[in-house]
Structure 1
Amino acid sequence: MESEPENRIEPEQAPHVEVHVIETREEYLEAVAAIVAGHGPIAIDAERASGFRYSQRAYLIQIFRRGSGVFLFDPPAIGSFAELDAAIRDEEWILHAASQDLACLREVGLDPTRIFDTELGARLAGLPRVGLGTVVEDLLGIHLAKEHSAADWSTRPLPQSWLVYAALDVELLPDLRDAMATLLENGGKSEIAEQEFAAVLAREAKVVTGDAWRRLSGLHTVRGARNLAVARELWEARDAFAREIDTAPGRLVPDASLVAAAKAMPDSRHGLASLREFNGRASRSELPRWWAAIEAGRATEDLPALRVASEAMPPPRVWSDRNPVADKRLKAARAAIAVVSAEVDIPVENLLTPELLRRLSWTPPEPLDLESIGSALDGLGARPWQVDAIAQVILDAFVDASQTNEPGVEADS
């Protein structure tokens, strides 16, 4: 009988010298000069306090450059990073999952003109897992501990173990970038990667439209316009207080508690306090605030609509009833793109986002030919390499789907 394989033992992370956080303008300007004196691309990362703070600001910014070393900056203490941006903005910046950090970097004045995204590069290269720790271990053979990824980075002072973790995140990025670039070049995907990196830089932040309070988790279980009014007032009261004290709203009173109060409609402050489902760290300490919101919802004449008109497409699960022709197009195109995905070793969602394919399938261009499909893809934001890879495939799928339609079936426009 063969013996059972031994459990894999993760290698321990190598010890690291003590890391210092730059908190003064004088130290910051000295660091800028040192970074300018270095060479090669700029490795950069940012740590936020998601889930702890209302804002998405950076509470730590890490930079590494060969010949300069690693620098950890305290953004709230330093303020503007205009001098650093002016010195390095035209260099290539290396980030892992750049879309997660660009907004908070731009908030302090750091705005690159060229990036290399190692997470996106890993996806395009066809790596099965794209987390930083996994990619570093796969390509560099170095174990990178990730035990502080969900920490509250607004904590002051920051523990030394957290700072070491943060420093390692950028110290390895230049080597990772070089290994990734080789992988992409060997796979004939360097131009694809450049187009994707440029698209990440050009992408605008999503603007929340409509009533933000309607994103309240569980709101669909609230019945009646008056109950919805109470839910709205509770959400807005919590949001205003969370913004005021810079705390994540859910840490004050969770969504489930607001929904429970809106459904129960307590008739007194005591009734609200007695509601078992109404909990959270600020559920009792700020009870007058929440009760005032309930009273406002009870009294308002501005009742919200039970249903909100939307121009969004229906979910694909109902397409077979709502628009069977579009459903056939979508299913045929999905299958065809999956084949291409396997051939080029690029994930389906990177070949074309599901949302874009749905929009094209719901309302295809006319006349239906290669030129019109390509123009439609371009208009929806597809990159040139994506158009080259799948325009013909989508056209063929749409044509095949139209030829298999049942007699008499027409699209529901």
Structure 2
Amino acid sequence: MTEFTAIETYEGLVQAANALRDGDGPVAVDAERASGFRYSQRAYLIQVYRRGAGTFLFDPPPIGDFRPLQEAIGDVEWVLHAASQDLACLREVGLDPSTIFDTELAARLLGREKVGLGAVVEDILGITLAKEHSAADWSTRPLPQSWLKYAALDVDLLVDVRDALANELVEADKTEIARQEFDAVLHREAKPAPADPWRRLSGIHSVRIPRNLAVARELWRARDEFAIETDIAPGRIIPDASIVAVAHELPRTRRALSELRTFSGRASRTELDRWWAAVERGLATTDLPPVRQPGDSLPPPRSWAQRKPEADARLRAARAAMMAVAEEHHMPVENLLTPELLRRVAWTPPNADAASIGSALADLGARPWQIEATAQIIADAFVEASQSSDPASEQVS
């Protein structure tokens, strides 16, 4: 049985980088984080495979400087599965590809129903991957041998999967589509941090009084500060439900907070002074947050029929047309065009012609192939929706 070890030294990294430089073809890359356990989204293990070189596992924290590896493979195509999940933590240590092949995205574009790595590997190669360590705490040290084996297998087969999917993309005449999609993932800008991140608390929509929202906000801030200090996932300190429960109850004393049964979590009592200070700030502040936050988000489509019926008609007509086009392309409709983009042009439409629709979609970030495939369809659907809702057209008919 092969024993796997994680490289922990700069010298070991240099040796591995030299071997990978001398390998053949694209490199398979994967990263393991400790989501749900740690506050940070840093990589706690990085796996790299290249034909002719083999598989290498790297322990990022003790290595620190990954420049030799970047110099060795930076100009080679990187094969990743669900690249958008790993690019940020790879870039954090200085690893940044110039081109990528995303096996999950390729599987989506080819219309596969199951696109998880295990399902794709089994479907293409007939090999079953065990996924029992996918949600493990990868900040654990030392890493168990079974975890290292699991991590190595994630990249050992990825280049073979890439080659098979690339052939299928050629057969389906989707190579250029995939190239544009991969490039969009690689160069997608990170979303700006929300102005009020505490509003993402699960269940916060049930709190509708400014004073109560202020308490929730102060508790969220206190929890976030403590999570950063300890590098522990916020939900493992006190869950969102506990913060929302306190916001509803508004305990007026430290003792009342401690006796609140719905206020739970591993640090709900050990850090009680911290939480009570936050509650006091929320109760005393004059900076009360509004119940609703102004923004450019659209109302939920279920409300369109009453709020803006003409937009609802456009959206319904375009959705039906898009479903038909997606079936023709044998891919999910959300890959044909991001639903948010369709909603935006339906809510505030440009002129109902393909050129205007295409220009609006381009401004929103749609890729050229998406515009070519959908702009005329959307324009026709908007015209149809307008005519069907026009009383004059009904009288003529």
Range of TM-score over shorter length: over 0.9
Contact 1:196 1:383 in 2 (8 A): yes
Aligned amino acid, residue 373 of structure 2 = A
- Aligned-partner Cα distance in 1 for 2:343–2:235: 33
The corresponding residue for 2:285 is 300
1:60 paired residue among 45, 52, 57:
45
Which aligned pairs between 1:33-72 and structure 2 lie closer than 5 A?
Answer: 33-72=18-57
Aligned amino acid, residue 40 of structure 1 = G
- Aligned-partner Cα distance in 2 for 1:373–1:267: 56
Q: Which moved more, 1:44-53 or 1:264-273?
A: 264-273
Contact 2:238 2:267 in 1 (8 A): yes
Deviation at 1:408, TM superposition (A): 8.6
- Aligned-partner Cα distance in 2 for 1:177–1:335: 33
Aligned amino acid, residue 147 of structure 2 = W
- Aligned-partner Cα distance in 1 for 2:30–2:358: 36
The corresponding residue for 2:67 is 82
Deviation at 1:306, TM superposition (A): 2.3
Q: Does 1:110 align with 2:132?
A: no
- Aligned-partner Cα distance in 2 for 1:388–1:214: 38
Deviation at 1:224, TM superposition (A): 2.1
The corresponding residue for 1:244 is 229
Q: Does 1:188 align with 2:136?
A: no
Question: Which structure 2 residue ranges, 5 or more long, are not aligned?
Answer: none
Aligned amino acid, residue 4 of structure 2 = V
Contact 1:70 1:167 in 2 (8 A): yes
SS in 2 for 1:302: coil
Deviation by residue 1:105-148 (Cα, 9 ceiling, x = unmatched): 01100111100000000001111110000000001111111111
2:325 paired residue among 340, 363, 375:
340
- Aligned-partner Cα distance in 1 for 2:291–2:378: 39
The corresponding residue for 1:390 is 374
Which aligned pairs between 1:216-365 and structure 2 lie closer than 5 A?
Answer: 216-365=201-350
The corresponding residue for 2:118 is 133
- Aligned-partner Cα distance in 1 for 2:109–2:122: 18
SS in 1 for 2:25: coil
Deviation at 1:54, TM superposition (A): 0.4
Which aligned pairs between 1:145-224 and structure 2 lie closer than 5 A?
Answer: 145-224=130-209
Aligned amino acid, residue 25 of structure 1 = Y
Deviation by residue 1:320-356 (Cα, 9 ceiling, x = unmatched): 1111111111110100010011111011000001001
Deviation at 1:390, TM superposition (A): 1.3
- Aligned-partner Cα distance in 1 for 2:269–2:329: 57
- Aligned-partner Cα distance in 2 for 1:408–1:363: 23
- Aligned-partner Cα distance in 1 for 2:269–2:47: 39
SS in 2 for 1:40: strand
Deviation at 1:208, TM superposition (A): 2.2
The corresponding residue for 1:6 is none
Deviation at 1:404, TM superposition (A): 0.5
The corresponding residue for 1:9 is none
- Aligned-partner Cα distance in 1 for 2:287–2:314: 43
- Aligned-partner Cα distance in 2 for 1:402–1:80: 59
Contact 2:13 2:68 in 1 (8 A): no
- Aligned-partner Cα distance in 2 for 1:341–1:307: 36
- Aligned-partner Cα distance in 1 for 2:108–2:365: 19
- Aligned-partner Cα distance in 2 for 1:223–1:133: 44
Question: Which structure 1 residue ranges, 5 or more long, are not aligned?
Answer: 1-15
Deviation by residue 1:157-213 (Cα, 9 ceiling, x = unmatched): 111101000000000001000011111111111111111101111101111222111
Deviation at 1:399, TM superposition (A): 0.8
- Aligned-partner Cα distance in 2 for 1:341–1:23: 47
- Aligned-partner Cα distance in 2 for 1:220–1:101: 31
Q: Does 1:404 align with 2:384?
A: no
Superposition RMSD in Å = 1.2
The alignment covers a number of residue pairs equal to 393
Deviation at 1:360, TM superposition (A): 0.9
Task: State percent identity of aligned pairs.
Answer: 66
TM superposition score normalised by structure 2: 0.97
The corresponding residue for 1:370 is 354
- Aligned-partner Cα distance in 1 for 2:106–2:293: 40
Deviation at 1:301, TM superposition (A): 1.7
